[in-house]
Amino acid sequence: MLPWRLHWREQRRPGKRNVPGEREEPAEPSWPRTRTFKALVLATFALGVLARVPTFCRPILSDDEAIYATTADALVRGDLLYRDVVDHKPPLIYHVYQAGFAALGRYNTHGAHALVILSVLLTAGFLFAMKRHEESGYGTGASLAAAGLFLVFSTTWHDYDALAANCELFLLAPQAAAAWLLLRDLRDSSRGSLATHLAVGALIGTSALFKYQGLTFLGASIGMLGWWAILGRVSWSRATAMALCHAAGVLVPPTLYLLSCAAAGNAADTIYWFRFNFSYVGAGLAGLAAMARGLRRMGLIGGVALVPYALGVSAAVAVAAGMVRVIRRRLHGEQLLALDAAGLCPAESVAGGFGEAARSAGEVGWEAGAEGKANPIRVPISIDVPAPSAVLGLLWLATSAVAVATGGRFFGHYFHLILAPLCLLAAPAFHRFWCKGWSYRVPLSVLSALPALFFFVLSTVGRPLAAALDEREPPYDDVATRIAAITAPDDRIFVWGNSPQLYVLARRPMGTRFSFCNYMTGESPGTPTETGQWDADANQLPAAWDMMFADLERRRPALFVDAAAAGWDGYDKFPLVRYPRLRAYVDRNYRPVEVRAGVVLYRRLP
């Protein structure tokens, strides 16, 4: 019998008969709650840190990291986000990098790398806590499995997706905290208060300030309240009040941020670039093309992380089936009560708890309603009721799948969003198989260790192999070193292209508000505009051109860096000659001084 199928309030103890007529089960092996278990917990989290050590092997792991770092540097210099420096993502990721700079120095992205490790540890800690609460009297393996699976398999992909300090890994910490707080409140009704549910909503709102798709967790939290009402653990009116608190709490973080923007003078710009996100999502793949890409990426990533994906998905199916059975029994109970009220049903059928069907299902008692009052439907407490963490894991997985699919891009780091609920769902089955002996432990260990070791090596000593597997990275360091040599530390530069790494590696401020030029050219990451199959001009933002030229005139960057001339990062499609207004501006205000690795460097005329 799967551990998740035990009713959370009636944990089966070794040698105890919980259900009339059911045979006594032998005691299951469990890890003692002693120093040994504490040592295992510490070792698991230490392993999670060790697996992320390669994060510090390179200063910049991805294009996104370069964008975040460049934007954070502008904020350190006093620029206002969305007005003086622009990227369309929510604000917290840039402030995380800003905090990293404050700790380790400007342009040092390892501060953000350290913070992402902290976020991963927090997420694993909340997964551990959610499963731990359900393990009293039954063993402690599932909680450790939930944390360990997440710590290991959040690293099993290319470093620019798995190890980089991206939005997804940061938003999971407040989401996991919201999940833990919600379950804690629902389990202990004496402790619960509407303020707690406001806090749950605020945590969801905080996750959305890392990535807007974090808002989807609101569907999971409200869905959990609905499930609790179906079980009769809370009245529908109380569940509705809690749901409204979630919705109200979600609005608190963005409202506070908008108020701060209004005080600073960039509220209108913040709203403008928020609205741009709808265009960004609309520019992505849709329909069969999006479905094909999503299935292909999931096949690759899920094939590497086979343990949490296989066990988690199978558990999700089983939990969904268990929920359907409970709902059907609920509906059957309502029908019996209606018949009884009409005098068409024998009283013993109702009083007996749905008659023989309930007894055959293993009835062990009646569920209490809200505030300890008997539920008029009297849902039986049955071993078929999934554990609360399993139900929330299923809802979390479903809403996170929506977040991953939004826009049809399916980048590798998006899949972190579904990994956390998958690990929560997979943990009990992992523990059950582990307890069956070495015939199961060996394949589980191999399937977990090999992917982690492979990508650990690939991101450290195997960097040449990683470069061969992916597109070879342009020589950013060489060009950035030359830029630094021919400019002063406070000289601004402007890079025409999609190569924000040059700002960070050269340690020079931006010459415009844009760290990359996709808003002007219309190239949209993760779409056929990158290969030229789609017309990028259709995605151009005309206002961005005006903003760029206004910035060039006001900031007068000392160096104009034409990375498109070298064909870097797919910008061979967007040469200066394609844009007569820009070509004329460069010819009028700059002169070429050097060509480095194909990149043309222009010096501004006096």
CA distance 74 to 245: 37
Residue 361 has pLDDT above 50, yes or no: no
Lowest mean pLDDT among 198-212, 337-351, 407-421: 337-351
pLDDT band at 63 (very low <50, low <70, confident <90, very high): very high
CA distance 560 to 586: 8
Q: What does residue 426 show for φ and ψ, rounded to 5 degrees? A: -75, -20
Residue 592 has pLDDT above 90, yes or no: yes
As a whole number, the mean pLDDT across the chain is 87
Is the C-alpha dihedral spanning 303, 306, 308, 309 positive or negative? Answer: positive
Please, which residues have CB within 8 angstroms of residue 603's CB and are 6 or more apart in sequence? Answer: 486, 558, 559, 590, 591, 592, 593
Residue type, 47: L
Residue 25 has pLDDT above 50, yes or no: no
The encoded tokens of residue 436 equal 């069956």
| pLDDT, position 334 | 60
Is the pLDDT higher at 173 or at 9? 173
Lowest mean pLDDT among 60-74, 372-386, 467-481: 372-386
Residue 473 has pLDDT above 60, yes or no: yes
Please, which residues have CB within 8 angstroms of residue 206's CB and are 6 or more apart in sequence? Answer: 92, 174, 253
| pLDDT, position 472 | 77
Lowest mean pLDDT among 46-60, 367-381, 464-478, 493-507: 367-381
Block residue for tokens 């653990």: 233
| pLDDT, position 330 | 83
Residue 369 has pLDDT above 70, yes or no: no
| pLDDT, position 335 | 58
Q: Are residues 180 and 129 in contact, defined by beta-carbon separation less than 8 angstroms?
A: yes
Q: Which residues pair with 374 in a beta bridge?
A: 368
End-to-end CA distance of the chain: 79
The encoded tokens of residue 458 equal 């690939």
Torsion of CA 529, 535, 539, 541, to 10 degrees: 110
Residue 35 has pLDDT above 90, yes or no: no
| pLDDT, position 442 | 97
| pLDDT, position 588 | 97
| pLDDT, position 189 | 66
Does any domain span residue 161? no
Does any domain span residue 383? no
| pLDDT, position 15 | 40
- Give the pTM: 0.88
pLDDT band at 347 (very low <50, low <70, confident <90, very high): very low
Residue 362 has pLDDT above 60, yes or no: no
| pLDDT, position 332 | 75
| pLDDT, position 343 | 57
What is the average pLDDT across 425-451?
96
pLDDT tens per residue, range 308-335: 999 999 999 999 999 999 999 888 766 5
Vertex 39: Cα angle to 33 and 40 (nearest 5): 80
Torsion of CA 465, 469, 472, 478, to 10 degrees: -30
Strand bridging mode 590-596 / 599-604 = antiparallel
The total of structural domains in the chain comes to 1
Angle between helices 167-187 and 416-434 (to 10 degrees): 60
**Percentage of the chain surpassing pLDDT 70?**
84
Does any domain span residue 529? yes
**Percentage of the chain surpassing pLDDT 90?**
78
pLDDT band at 87 (very low <50, low <70, confident <90, very high): very high
Does any domain span residue 548? yes
Compute the radius of gyration of the chain from its Cα atoms: 28
Does any domain span residue 567? yes
Does any domain span residue 528? yes
pLDDT tens per residue, range 201-239: 999 999 999 999 999 999 999 999 999 999 999 999 999
| pLDDT, position 134 | 82
pLDDT band at 5 (very low <50, low <70, confident <90, very high): very low
| pLDDT, position 187 | 87
| Full domain range(s) for residue 531 | 476-604
What is the average pLDDT across 437-460?
96
Does any domain span residue 274? no
| pLDDT, position 184 | 94
Q: What does residue 175 show for φ and ψ, rounded to 5 degrees? A: -65, -45
pLDDT tens per residue, range 256-304: 999 999 999 999 999 999 999 999 999 999 999 999 999 999 999 999 9
DSSP state of 270: H
| pLDDT, position 468 | 75
Q: Which residues pair with 562 in a beta bridge?
A: 496, 600
CA distance 140 to 128: 10
Q: Are residues 245 and 201 in contact, defined by beta-carbon separation less than 8 angstroms?
A: yes
208 exposure class (CB count in 10 Å sphere: 0-12, 13-18, 19+): buried
